[in-house]
Structure 1
Amino acid sequence: MKFSLTCISLFLVSVTASSDLSFTLEKNSHYKPNAKRAVLRANAKYSSKPFATNHDNSSNTMSALKTGSVSVVDHLYDIEYYGTVKVGNPPQKFKVNFDTGSSDFWIASTICSTCKSHTRYNATESTTYKKDGRRWEIQYGDGSHANGILGRDTINLGGIMIKNQTFGLAKLQSQSFAADPVDGLLGLGFNKITTVKGVQTPMDNMISKKLIKSPIFGVHLGKAIKNGGGEFLFGGYNKKKFKGSLVTIPVDNSAGFWGVDVDSIKMGTKKVHGSFKGILDTGTTLLVFPDSIARKLAKAYKASDNMDGTFTISCDASKLKPLMFSMNGKTFKVPSDSLIFERNDTYCVAGFGYSHLDFSIIGDTFLKNNYVVYNQKVPNVRIAASIDQ
């Protein structure tokens, strides 16, 4: 999760949503993305997480009676994506990072003395707030942390009203959160990895309370070079956001993540590496591979090791062939423009890096080029080329 909390660690046939929250992408001409930090956060995020195998290939229908659409902002050239949720009555608005690589929902609150740079939830101003009182605490591998108490309130997620949703009220957060534009994080992983056991995620509650007919959400992450933005569509998917047909990929959720098997990766038509396991994570900026895979990839692209989890790569996208992922017999592309993540005066940093983990984190470098429909019930994902590819 790139949360910067997301990465603290360190994404029916044309559907009409009940609510459409829109934002303008703001660009900072002086900003330079930090690939090293993105890799460190992703590496720290998963350092203590197991990853096993247990596929379920059953199918599910994709029709929906009701959907909720949340538009997202592409922050600082594809660093992270965030949208607005409303909490309480009267509603209080918060910017949150939607993270498929975690499962906790928490926001800054007025009981937090270190959250002053963010919008803070005020429980005393909501007529629908209910006290829970249980404590929660999150410690990230890079030293970032947050803690607080649990509470319950009504959550408005793209027009879908989730009553009595349990969430975390931050009482303390580390200084590294201060510079992040988001007020909190909404995890879209499975509930077995919630910080407090037994807490149902917003997606759990939308399914169990029949607020959405289909147990799915479609994700479109825009690219800054194509005006950014994006959309999380809960209960359905948006056919206008992808090209061609959706391809079904089985998911292993045994460790609480959206785990997939990758058959191989290629540079253009040249095979770089065979099968490996990966996690689809909207909250991680880059593609983060185990060291052994990353070095093969770097060699193929003539990229040099920066000795910090990142690689220097050619700044000329026309000289780079696309990176091809094969999953369940089908191929998905990361075009050459996305293989260049960070541009400096005399060199460029690649959109992929390495870690000590034994699985890959398939982050926004891949997800902003491919539309993904996440099915929590089966579980599986369906993938097609994004309109922004």
Structure 2
Amino acid sequence: MFCKASLLTVALALLASATPVTRETGIRIPIQKRSALTKADGTVDRDAVIRETHRRNLITIDRKMGLENYAEGAYIPPVAHVPASVQRRLEARQSEALTDQEGGEQWTGTISIGTPAQEFVIDFDTGSSDLWVASSSCSGCDASNYYTASDSSTSQEQSGTFDIEYGDGSEASGPIYTDDVSVAGVAVTSQTLSAVTSESGNLVGDVADGLMGMAFPALSQLEADPYFWTAISQGVVSSGEFGFYLAGSDSELYLGGSDSNLYSGDLEFHDVSSDSGFWQISGASIIINGETVASGFATIIDSGTTLMYGPTSAVGSLYENVSGSVSLGDGTYAFPCSDFPTVEVTWGGNTYDISNTFNLGETSNGECQAALGGEDLGLGNNVWLFGDTVMQNLYTVFSVDQNAVGFAPLA
């Protein structure tokens, strides 16, 4: 899969007992820096900037509530066909590398499952809702750590089978269990999870052994509460909120509230505008060089997606209104590197500058590629996808208590 590079750290600030007590400092967990979105010569690797799909989630939404009840224009996109050279990049959408100016990073942390504890490095993903890891009996898995249910005295096998479908047609499946799960001391019991026993592609391996979904229960294919919802119901966090601070170093996931040392001013909350299961909020705008070029659309805030995506026609119209933009084909765009624009986003309150992460770097033709692409992902005519390109520029809080997403400027 991807070559491994230097280790960074991520701090999980959290509460750790049935009678919650806030810790002043978090527990540091290694984060693995993965391969960059640039080639050795410093230009953008366009094969690495490929579409990230929510096809699996849309199938779940259609089954549970019907796509016609989710969003106008929502549909299940066909399986993607891409060159063999980029097949290895088409992993689980939940394990996309994050983008910064020096390369791609994947935000991972260590969790434990079972009694005695078995440790796993997983991705924290606000765009999905299930916990799964590689099983010790997985055929073809290339994980570093494997779950052995028989070694855990608290493991209980459940009926049914978990199945994961990805945009390139690859799949993974496995049995369903309940077991004790702990994230740096925030321990829950009888958490539903899957241990993947077969896969058709490189869905686990490298630095990640699996995934922890942090979206709403409505997206769960396990038909169970995600870990954080279980933590709320069992009273092991003092509030139903978690905050993300994504940076080149000292990144942090804060369970049970927000870390006020990492942002300035007050958090600005926006109500979740859909019951689909996504952290989806309305009223977004994009401002380029001081001019509003798109407004009034909904955004899914997804830590498991690297870049930004909007419907192909809407994104095309946006770039038509920006001087200097160049279409690179396949829904991607660029600007002259010497005159790359300033880019801001807002949901009607504070305005956040995302220029630093909006520039992906130089292409082979000498332009600099933009992080917003046009892709018809089936999410609806007015639903856009905002990943870590946005989240790396602001503190983001996901509030189950308020059914809202909050933002604040970084400190």
TM-score, normalised to structure 1, is: 0.81
Structure 1: gaps spanning 5 or more residues: 1-11, 54-72
Query: 1:45-56, aligned counterparts within 5 Å?
Result: 48=59, 49=61, 50=67, 52=70
Q: Distance in 2 between matches of 1:286 and 1:137?
A: 26
Q: CA deviation at 1:139?
A: 1.0
Does the alignment pair 1:235 with 2:259? no
What's 2:226 paired with? 201
1:82 is aligned, of 108, 115, 135, to: 108
Q: Pairwise mapping of residues 115-154 of structure 1 onto structure 2 (< 5 A)?
A: 115-154=141-180
Q: Give yes or no for the alignment of 1:366 onto 2:390.
A: yes
Partner residue, 1:279: 300
What's the secondary structure of 1:245's corresponding residue?
coil
Gap change, CA 1:34 and 1:207, over 3 Å in 2: farther
**Does 2:357 match 1:338?**
yes
Partner residue, 1:324: 344
Worse-superposed segment, 163-172 or 120-129: 120-129
Task: Tell me by how many angstroms 1:310 deviates.
Answer: 2.0
Deviation track 1:51-90 (CA, whole Å, cap 9, x = no partner) reads 748xxxxxxxxxxxxxxxxxxx968834532111111122
Match status 1:348 vs 2:368: yes
Q: Which moved more, 1:339-348 or 1:279-288?
A: 339-348
Contact 2:37 2:103 in 1 (8 A): no
Contact 1:249 1:381 in 2 (8 A): yes
Shift of 1:135: 0.7
1:250 matched residue in structure 2: 271
Structure 1 residue matching 2:265: 3-state secondary structure: strand
CA pair 175-52 structure 1, distance change in 2 beyond 3 A: closer
User: Alpha-carbon deviation of 1:383?
Assistant: 0.3
**How far did residue 364 of structure 1 move?**
0.6
User: Matches of 1:301 and 1:125 in 2, distance apart?
Assistant: 61
Q: Which residue of 1 aligns with 2:337?
A: 315
Kindly indicate whether the alpha-carbon contact (under 8 Å) linking 1:341 and 1:349 is maintained by their aligned counterparts in 2. yes
Matched, 1:187 2:213: yes
Structure 1 runs of 4+ off > 6 angstroms?
Answer: 73-76
For residues 261 and 285 of structure 1, do their structure 2 counterparts lie closer, same or farther at Cα, with a shift above 3 Å needed? same
Letter in structure 2 aligned against 1:366: V
Aligned residues of 1:262 and 1:325 also touching (Cα < 8 A): no
User: Structure 1's 29 and 270: CA in aligned 2 closer, same or farther, altered over 3 A?
Assistant: closer
Residues 65-76 of structure 1: matches in 2 within 5 Å? none
Shift of 1:307: 2.1
| Percent identity of paired positions between Structure 1 and Structure 2 | 26
Counterpart AA for 2:53:
A
Q: Which runs of no fewer than 5 residues in structure 2 stay unpaired?
A: 1-12, 14-21, 62-66, 72-96
Q: Corresponding residue for 1:163? A: 189
Matched residues in 1 for 2:98 and 2:23: separation? 22
Structure 1 residue 347: Cα displacement: 4.1
53, 65, 86: which is aligned to 1:42?
Answer: 53
Residue pair 1:115, 1:173 contacting (<8 A) in 2 also: yes
8 Å CA contact 1:19–1:159 kept in 2: the answer is no
Q: CA deviation at 1:296?
A: 3.1
User: Is 1:22 the equivalent of 2:29?
Assistant: yes
Residues 32, 107 of structure 2: 8 Å contact kept: no
Asked if structure 1 preserves the Cα contact closer than 8 Å seen for 2:132 and 2:193, the reply is yes
- Letter matched to residue 404 of structure 2: N
Residue in 1 aligned with 2:239?
214
Structure-1 residue corresponding to 2:128: 102
Matched residue pairs, number?
A: 349
Give the secondary-structure state (helix, strand or coil) at the position aligned to 1:212.
coil
Give the superposition deviation at 1:301.
5.6
How many Å separate the matches in 1 of 2:204 and 2:31?
Answer: 22
SS of the aligned residue for 2:303 comes to: coil
Which SS does the other structure have where 2:282 is aligned?
A: strand
Instruction: Check whether the contact 2:204–2:210 (CA below 8 A) recurs between aligned residues.
Output: no
User: 1:59 corresponds to which residue?
Assistant: none
Question: 1:282 Cα shift?
Answer: 0.5
Q: Deviations over 1:248-276 (max 9, x none)?
A: 11112411011111342211321101211
Q: Which stretch of the first structure deviates more once superposed, 210-219 or 352-361?
A: 352-361
**Aligned with 2:409: secondary structure?**
strand
Residues 34 and 231 (structure 1), Cα distance of their counterparts in 2 relative to 1, 3 Å cut: farther
| CA apart distance, 1:371 | 0.7
- Higher deviation after alignment, 376-385 or 77-86: 77-86
What SS does the corresponding residue of 2:51 show, helix, strand or coil? helix
TM-align CA RMSD = 2.9
Distance 1:385 1:21 in 2: 23
1:386 CA drift (Å): 2.5
C-alpha distance 289-144 of structure 1, shift in aligned 2 (>3 A) = same
Match of 2:94 in 1: none
TM-score normalised by structure 2 residue count:
0.77
User: Which amino acid counterpart does residue 51 of structure 2 have in structure 1?
Assistant: L
Q: CA deviation at 1:360?
A: 0.3
More off after superposition, 138-147 vs 200-209: 138-147
Structure-1 residue corresponding to 2:90: none
* Residue aligning to 2:3: none
1:23-78: CA deviation from partner (whole Å, max 9, x where unpaired): 2654768964756655422364565454748xxxxxxxxxxxxxxxxxxx968834
Would the alpha carbon gap of residues 31 and 37 (structure 1) be closer, same or farther in structure 2, given more than 3 Å must change? closer
Match of 2:82 in 1: none
